[in-house]
Structure 1
Amino acid sequence: MLIVDDNPDILIAVKLLLKQHYQTVLTTNTPFDIEQVLNEQKIDVILLDMNFNHDAISGQEGFYWLKKILAQDPSIVVVLMTAYGDIQIAVDAIKAGASDFIAKPWKNEQLLASITAAFSHAKDKQQLSKLTRQTQGLNQALNGQQFEFLGKSVAMQQVFDTIEKAAQTDANILITGESGTGKELAAHAIHLASERSQQAFISLDMGSISQSLFESELFGHKKGAFTDAKNDRVGRFELAHNGSIFLDELGNLPINQQATLLSALQSRQITPVGGSKSIKVNIRLICATNENLTQAVQEGRFRQDLLYRINTVEIRLPPLRDRVDDILLLAEYYLEHFNHKYKRTVSIVPEDVQVLCQYSWPGNVRELAHVIERSVILSNTNIVDIRSVINANTAPTLIQLPTDTDSNNDDDTFNLEVVEQRTVRAALKYHQGNVTKAAKSLGLTRGAMYRRLDKYDL
């Protein structure tokens, strides 16, 4: 707590009384020190005199500083005191936001009771503030419906076995594998199998964050920290407190931001952008990447100390082509899901099961889900039209590669949509339909790339 009074005898007397009961009791003889103290210390309660040298009896200075304190940190509880009090000033003090009003000289029992109540009130305010911020942050962070993490193949049984063992610890886990193999589903399965399963699971695609918003996304920010910071925002690390945080596509993180992340992981403390107080966080870290991070370390694109920090246990997800036994299981699961979503009752014929199992699935489980969804939507009967979406014998990928005749022949056009469509087509053609490589060459995330594929019906 902090005691603010211009009378040194009162500061000494109150501190001697309160330090017997409270861990940290700070004092200052001028209210002009309050802002600096609040920036440097976590203060729960302030005992504030209402009259200083410039104004001996009205109490207006006390009301002024009360307003300043609550504007800087609404969670602080303020108890006002004055030797010139009356009932009306006490009423006005409570209306202005003070929790209590103490008249000088005080009785020690009365002062202790007031301060005890103030600390209880401060705890309630802090919990409410945290819950409010977490609720707002969770509403932004939580995604839609989560698919199940399925598999019956030998390869997947080995993955499930590793997950079961690793989930019982708080060890940092790195999930590797090709794009679309279900790394986020695996991360969620780890969380659900852990002792943190009743707490938050927060995910973040590291490749989708702009450099300017990196620290704000992870650590939060204070109101006014930058131009668009109109309100306080809780970061993903704080949202995941006592739960799990999943950092996807970690290999896309620039080298300079890797140092910032490493520091937070080592200290388990974060400081919101524009803030001065660190916040302790208790998280379970799960990361994922489709890159070879060992090679990235050798090439100087990834910090070796960060790699050591994140991969206490590594779980590699097999590509779908190496778990053919799971294809029908997954296809039936997604068929049931999308039948329900689109209010259809279509099914798969045995001939199409063979088509599904013979296809190489370069986009892995994500591509399979997309094929089933599209087949359900396009089907004109009660049988899904898999062959109209995928040709296992000839099509190297789900994406129809563009031809020269597909593009607009007006080479002089400066229409941005036309130029963008040509560029996306050219990237797909150059990378032989590999969406991940095409997106990377265009500087786009996979999500942004798929939105453009839908937009231009590619």
Structure 2
Amino acid sequence: MKKTQTTLLILDDNEEILIAARMLLKRHFETVITTVNPKKIPELLNEHPIEVILLDMNYRLGYEDGKEGIFWFKEIQKMAPKVQIILMTSYAHIETAVEGIKLGAIDYILKPWNNEVLLQTIKEAVKLVRKKGPEVAPTPASFFKGRAASIQKVYQMADRVSKTDVNTLILGENGTGKYVLAQYIHEQSARREQPFIHVDLGSLNENLFESELFGYAKGAFTDAKQDTAGRFEMAHGGTIFLDEIGNVPLHLQSKLLQIIQSKSVIRLGESKTRPVDVRILTATNSDIELEVEQKHFREDLYYRINTVVLSLPALRARKEDISSLMDFFLQQYADKYQRSLPSIDNYTREELTKYDWKGNIREMQNRVERAMILSDSDQLTLADFGISQLAISPYQDEASLQEIERISIVKAMDKSQGNISQAALELGLSRAALYRRLEKHNLK
């Protein structure tokens, strides 16, 4: 029997499962790599031409909610977007696997698996990888910059910064694109072929801070079953992006400062110093200068990370980009969900430009995806984005609001071709409430 020429990676915390999977799959596929440690994923992706990953959802004893699996799934997507991922789970955790499918996993396999089903699923994943063609590093065109002067200035500075290794601090409200800018800098740098490791310091448990960032030796604590590299070592040769650095507790900031100064780490349970060659990017949505002034953030650490500061503007401060950014996301989700690209009429575009977008680009991305999933129409309205007219113009007088209500009802009735139930659903009203408004506006 001829083997399929491909490289598979299987991750599971149970050695027996890995042995069983390897014995089966080695008969059908050329290279099968296994590991119990998901922290080895960046290293393995760099060393091997992996096309398909079988990813278990849980790795630590007592943690069975699947969150670790989802976390590593997202990390793989960032590091190797071409790789196809098949989730492995038990019947009791199907809901978590379904969440992974929504995020882009090709399929999930129940343990204990059916051999034929597993083999066929992997073969389909290999075919899908090869349909996508060779993976290339993102170019500047992969990123939406916008034409507002404020954002153009940021990206011009980012282009200059990317040619150096200077520590760079990215400031901006939640959802303004700090991660995207950090990734952009990495992709334009000489380190683009090396790892880009993202660490969300805001969600990192204090007790795990040192082991996650610096790594640990076997036996350093109860669950330390083998020597494990931390995030700084994973990023060796590349870039580490320390997101929400303003949330690091004061007593841990000195440990971070020591690594940045010495460019080396000491794993927990070891005394050996390990040099790390990393480009350091940081970000925060807090007023970090005020934090320094109030002694909540170390001044020496602040000056270490802010050789260059890039400040991202809020979306409401670059209104000229709102319409084209919306089109950018519409095209993305039309491709993702394999549906035709809907249009947005001029009235809706104007109203969405007036909207405050408190969640910035992230809010727009979520609302565009919502509209693409929930609407079957070839033209999107405010209702499809989950935005009410009142949210856009909260201070209009009663007469203006009454006219807005009348126009919204007319549009909904036209769209549903007079179907009361559909129009009511579109407007978020009951049938009875819609009837009352039709009478009020003499639209019956």
* Unaligned ranges ≥5, structure 2: 1-38, 47-52, 54-71, 82-137, 394-444
1:180 Cα deviation after fit: 0.2
Question: For 1:177, which of 159, 162, 172 is the aligned residue?
Answer: 172
In the superposition, the TM-score normalised over structure 2's length comes to 0.57
Return the match for 1:261 from 231, 252, 256.
Answer: 256
Alignment of 1:206-245 (within 5 A): 206-245=201-240
Counterpart of 1:333 in 2: which secondary structure? helix
- Correspondence list, 1:335-354, <5 A: 335-350=330-345, 351-354=347-350
CA distance in 2, matches of 1:298, 1:363: 27
Letter in structure 1 aligned against 2:370: R
Q: Per-residue CA shift, 1:290-329, capped at 9, x if unaligned?
A: 0011100111110000000000000000000111111122
Q: Which residue of 2 aligns with 1:165?
A: 160
Q: Measure how far apart 1:334 and its partner are.
A: 0.8
Q: Given the alignment of the two structures, is residue 383 of structure 1 paired with residue 372 of structure 2, yes or no?
A: no
- Go from structure 1 to structure 2 and tell me whether the alpha carbon gap of 1:209 and 1:202 turns closer, same or farther (over 3 Å shift): same
One of 340, 352, 359 as aligned partner of 1:356: 352
| Paired residue secondary structure (1:204) | strand
Distance 2:159 2:175 in 1: 22
State the TM-score, normalized to the length of structure 1. 0.55
Write the mapping of 1:72-111 to structure 2, written as runs, cut at 5 A. Answer: none
Change (3 A) 1:297 1:143: farther
Give the match for residue 453 of structure 1.
none
Percent identity of equivalent pairs = 40
Matches of 1:199 and 1:355, distance apart in 2: 43
SS at match of 1:395: helix
Give the superposition deviation at 1:220.
Answer: 1.1
Q: Distance in 2 between matches of 1:383 and 1:170?
A: 46
Superposed CA offset, 1:192-238 (max 9, x none): 11111111111110011101110111111122211222232211101
Distance in 2, Cα, partners of 1:199 & 1:367? 31
- Does 2:321 correspond to 1:326? yes
Change (3 A) 1:177 1:243: same
Alignment of 1:22-61 (within 5 A): none
Q: Secondary structure at the match of 2:207?
A: helix
Counterpart Cα distance in 1 of 2:195 and 2:237:
8
Q: Which whole-Å CA distance do the structure 2 matches of 1:143 and 1:222 have between them?
A: 28
Letter in 1 for 2:371: S
User: Who is 1:42 aligned against?
Assistant: none
CA distance in 2, matches of 1:196, 1:271: 24
Query: How many residue pairs end up in the alignment?
Result: 268
Instruction: Classify 1:328/1:396 alpha carbon distance in 2 versus 1 (closer, same or farther; 3 Å).
Output: closer
Moved more, 305-314 or 335-344: 335-344
| Cα offset, 1:133, TM superposition | 7.3
Look up the equivalent residue of 1:347 and give its one-letter code: P
In structure 1, the residue matched to 2:436 is none
Provide the rounded CA distance (Å) in 1 between the counterparts of 2:152 and 2:260. Answer: 31
2-structure distance, mates of 1:266, 1:213: 22
Instruction: Give the aligned partner of residue 135 of structure 1.
Output: 43
Question: 1: CA distance between counterparts of 2:306 and 2:181?
Answer: 15
Residue 301 (structure 2) aligns with: 306
Over the aligned positions, Cα root-mean-square deviation in angstroms equals: 2.4
* Structure 2 equivalent of residue 372 of structure 1: 368
CA distance in 2, matches of 1:294, 1:280: 30
Match of 1:450 in 2: none
